[in-house]
Structures are given as C-alpha cells and as structure tokens.
Structure 1
Amino acid sequence: MLGTVTIFTLKTRSTKIDARTRTLMRNSVAYTLRGKRTNNKYQAFTKVKLIDRPVIINKQPYYWLGTKKQRLIMASNIDGVKRKVKHNAYVYATSSRKAALGLVRKGKTIITYGSSLCLKNGKRYYRIGGPAKQIY
C-alpha cells in the first residue's frame, strides 16, 4: 500500500521544488511510484534534473525526475555504491581493451554504478568512474 509523498521546505511556503542537474553514470530506465519499469530510457553520461529527496521503494532508493510526470530513477545509477575489491582486478575500457589506470588492488574501496554487466566474453563487470567507459 502506498501513501502520498509530501515534501516540506523550511525556507518558503511555495510548492515549487528546486531540481538539480546530475549526470547518469549508467544506462537507466524510469520507474513508477509502485516500482514498475516504464518505457522511458536514459543513456549513460547524460544530464537529468532530479529532485533532491530520495524515495525508498522495496528497500531501494530512487530519485524523482524533475518532470511533470511522476517518474523515478534508481539512485545507484547516479550516486554509486562503495564496494571493497575482493581480488586484484584490471580496469577495462571494453571487454578486451584495458584502460590506462592499471591494477586495482585487493582491499581498496571503489565506487561502482548500477548492477553488474555481462559483456560478450561472458564475464561480469561493474561500471566505475567516467566520463570514459571504465569497468572492472
């Protein structure tokens, strides 16, 4: 059961909410308030306007898109998640070409964006950094 979402601001009494522009680090899909996927798709490294306060749906944080339609986007595609590297790993630009960053050592904490990807070679990777395509 979903309730209404009310946002209060202390500075003004107006209902206008300031949206800020953020960069998507991963290809993303918009969601409804019930957590269902929509047909709205957004490419990686594009800028979108977001409303600052996140919403929690099914234990996942989402951001409101700054559009008139009530659409949400997953926060992990924008903010990222800190993960500890479990084994030494190289950083790749594509599934076969290594990036110039070299080796990421075991025990280091890095920020990853979105869930893992499966590339043509069948291995799973996480998106890290940008604006260049980098995965590990």
Structure 2
Amino acid sequence: NMKVLYPEVKIAVQNAWWVTAEKLLPPGTFEVWNGLGHAGEGETSMVLVLHPELVEMKYAKGRVPKDLPENMEIKWLFSELTSNGATGDPTRGTEKKGKMMKEVLVKSVVDFIKKMDAVDWKYELLKDSK
C-alpha cells in the first residue's frame, strides 16, 4: 500500500476516465454504447485529441456486445468479443468529443485538488454511532 509506505504523500486516483467522462458530459454526447469500448467512441475521440497521428479512421471498425446484463460484468477473452481489437464504435469518435472529454476530466481533477487543498487534505470524519 503506497499510503503506508509514504504517509506524507497525498494520493488520489480518478475513477475509470471513460466512465467518469460519460457521467460529466451532456446526455447524448456519445452515440453508441455510452462511448465505451476498447478503441471505441470515447477512447478514439480522446486519442484524436492527444495523439491524432496514431489514429487511422479508415481502419476503424468496432463491435458492440448486445443485451449485456445490468449490474453484472462478464469476463471474456478479448478474442471472444472482437477480431480486430476494437469494441464499441470507433467510427463515431470525433476530435470534438475528445476535446469535451479532456475538458471535463481535467476540470474534475482540478476542482477536486482545489477542494482538498482548501481543507489541507483532511477528511471530515463521521461520528461514531451510539
């Protein structure tokens, strides 16, 4: 545990950025599968902003699993889901969506750091129940 090894260090980790971004963006931003997927709409959009030279949209082709159960996560081999390495729909990825994602994610981290700095990174403890 890093906090045990380095108690003076402040450690915070943003939850899965692709899920966090979807929650922070306006409804309807993503067109397919809430932007999810490996090399799907969200990841492709983000890479179009951060490293556009790595994206060749002419090869974009995805696959969206159908009828996934709610509140359950199925563990697949990736080869069971896709033959080309992508899930979701990378063809829906755009630079505009990537910029929106980057903005809301950076803002959420900055806001969190400001909030924690304001309280010297101390947490309000809950009172013991009686």
Q: If the TM-score is normalised by the length of the shorter chain, which range does it land in?
A: under 0.3
- Compare the two structures and name the one with the higher strand fraction: 1
Structure of larger gyration radius: 2
Task: Give the TM-score, by structure 1 length.
Answer: 0.21
TM-score by length of 2: 0.22
Q: Work out which structure has the larger RCO, using CA pairs closer than 8 Å and 6 or more positions apart in sequence.
A: 2
More helix by share: 2
